């Protein structure tokens, strides 16, 4: 695996590979890699000729300074895992490589989706996501961008960014990889004790409860029971919403429309998100 730290160098390298006809798959991450990230690397590897991963803990997408400071960093282990999984290129930029002195932040017109769910709890979060993704895609001009469904709202935001900025990358959204107890793999899980990780299996149980019990009609009672499954385990709920595929919350289901449940919770100060397509 080749490791690049400078934007200019990786950009030129990728351009030369594209000119010789190779296809580029890109997996942007914030590191502390786990099997969820590696599933994206493997998906790219099976479809593209070159797979690029980036590791950059992007400060502009953190609205909570403590969350940023405590974000797990395991670079040596990440490099080992990427090499074991056959990743071709790693981009490991410094802050100044991504946000040089002359960088000017712009405002992305993302519409309603920016301020709902994650956006409501984390003001400015998706502007920061768009900022870093647009910069990364200008450096790594990939053919295909691989993202995980675990961050479903982020996937839709990036889809919008690609349309807004006329970026030519194709988007592939990959299924959520889970622990044995159903807990969605996440770098933030590394901040939980084993006991907390066990309890956090209740998040998946709550989503599954909704999937198995949903009926046409009003959804309040179902959400109430699912929320109890989570809070009984000492987990704090931020939101649990059933929405359409544009992530607009619905109160009544017609039994036909495609819907999804999304939740965010906090366990001992660690914020976790998950979602499940219901039909
Ligand atoms: P992150 O490092 O958390 O910013 O995630 C980098 C990419 O990996 C994003 O596209 C995530 O959606 C994806 N990802 C994170 N966790 C999982 C998971 N458990 N399963 C599949 N993809 C994931």
Could you read off the pLDDT of 216-231 as tens digits, one per residue?
A: 999 999 999 999 999 9
| Domain that includes residue 167, residue range | 2-174
One domain for residues 116 and 240: no
Q: How far is CA 129 from the centre of its chain?
A: 10
Residues 145 and 62 reside in one and the same domain = yes
Give the Cβ contact number of residue 136 at 10 Å. 21
Relative to the CA of 28, which ligand 1 atom is closest?
6
Residue 79 pLDDT level (bands cut at 50, 70, 90): very high
Centroid of ligand 1 to alpha carbon of 122 (angstroms): 18
Per-residue pLDDT, 20: 97
pLDDT tens-digit readout, 195-216? 999 999 999 999 999 999 999 9
158 and 254 part of one domain:
no
pLDDT at 39: 98
Choosing from 39, 148, 161 the residue with most ligand 1 atoms within 8 A of its CB, the one to mutate for a pocket test is 148
Mean pLDDT of the chain: 98
Give the mean model confidence (pLDDT) for residues 37-60.
Answer: 98
pLDDT number for residue 235 = 98
Query: Which of 117, 147, 174 marks a domain boundary?
Result: 174
Residues 254, 160, single domain; the answer is no
Mean pLDDT of all residues in 182-196? 98
Residue 81 sits in a domain whose CATH number is 3.40.50.620
Distance 216 CA to ligand 1 centre (A): 32
* Residues taking part in catalysis: 37
User: 132 lies in a domain?
Assistant: yes
- Ligand 1 interacting residues, C-beta cut-off 6 A: 29-30, 36-37, 39-40, 147-148, 150-151, 174, 176-177, 184-187
Q: What is the pLDDT of residue 101?
A: 92
pLDDT band at 176 (very low <50, low <70, confident <90, very high): very high
- What integer pLDDT is reported at residue 74 of this predicted model? 98
Full DSSP string of the chain: -EEE--HHHHHHHHHHHHHTT--EEEEEE-SS--HHHHHHHHHHHHH-SEEEEEE---GGG-S-HHHHHT----HHHHHHHHHHTT--EEE---HHHHS-TT---------GGGTSTHHHHSTTHHHHHHHHHHHHHHHS--SEEEEEGGGHHHHHHHHHHHHHTT--PEEEEEPPPB-TTSPBP-GGGGGS-HHHHHHTHHHHHHHHHHHHH--SEE-HHHHHHHHHHHHTTTPEEEEEEEEETT--B-SEE-SSS-EEEEEEEEETTEEEEEEEE--
Residue 179 lies in a domain: no
Shared domain check, 220 and 160: no
How far does residue 110's CA lie from ligand 1's centre (Å)?
Answer: 21
- In the reported structure, the alpha carbon of residue 148 is separated from the centroid of ligand 1 by a whole-number distance in angstroms of 5
Question: What is the number of domains present in the chain?
Answer: 2
Same-domain pairing of 112 and 69: yes
pLDDT > 90: percent of the chain: 100
Instruction: Give the position, in ligand 1's atom list, of the atom nearest the Cα of 154.
Output: 12
Q: What is the pLDDT of residue 97?
A: 98
Residue with the smallest CA separation from ligand 1 atom 6 is 29
103 plus 232 within the same structural domain: no
Q: What is the pLDDT of residues 90-120, one digit of tens each?
A: 999 999 999 999 999 999 999 999 999 999 9
Contact 193, 176 (CB under 8 A): no
* Within-domain flag for 195: yes
For the stretch 45-59, what's the b/e string if a residue is b when 16 or more beta carbons lie within 10 angstroms of its beta carbon?
beebbbbbbbbbbbe
Indicate whether 45 and 129 sit together in one domain.
yes
Domain check: are 46 and 143 in the same one? Answer: yes
């Amino acid at each position: 695996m080749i490791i690049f730290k400078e934007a200019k160098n990786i950009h030129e390298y990728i351009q030369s590979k594209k000119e010789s006809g190779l296809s580029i798959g890109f997996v942007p991450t914030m590191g502390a890699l786990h099997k969820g990230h590696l599933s994206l690397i493997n998906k790219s590897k099976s479809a593209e000729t070159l797979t690029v991963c980036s590791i950059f803990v992007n400060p502009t997408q953190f609205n909570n300074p403590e969350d940023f400071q405590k974000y797990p960093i395991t670079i040596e282990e990440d490099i080992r895992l990427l090499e074991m999984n056959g990743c071709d290129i790693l981009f490991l930029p410094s802050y100044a490589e991504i946000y040089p002195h002359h960088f000017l932040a712009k405002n992305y017109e993302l519409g309603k989706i920016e301020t709902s769910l994650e956006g409501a709890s984390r003001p400015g979060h998706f502007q920061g996501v768009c900022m870093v993704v647009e910069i990364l895609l200008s450096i790594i001009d990939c053919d295909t961008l691989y993202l995980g469904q675990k961050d479903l709202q982020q996937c839709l935001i990036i889809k919008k960014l690609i349309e807004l900025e006329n970026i030519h990358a194709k988007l592939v959204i990959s299924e959520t990889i889970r622990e044995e107890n159903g807990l969605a793999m996440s770098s933030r899980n590394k901040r939980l004790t084993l006991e907390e990780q066990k309890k956090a299996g209740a998040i998946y149980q709550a989503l599954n409860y909704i999937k198995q019990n949903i009926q046409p009609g009003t959804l309040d009672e179902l959400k109430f029971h699912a929320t109890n499954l989570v809070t009984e385990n000492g987990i704090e709920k931020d939101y649990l919403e059933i929405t359409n595929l544009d992530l607009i919350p619905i109160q009544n289901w017609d039994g036909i429309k495609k819907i999804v449940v999304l939740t965010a919770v906090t366990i001992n100060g660690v914020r976790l998100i998950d979602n499940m397509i219901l039909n």
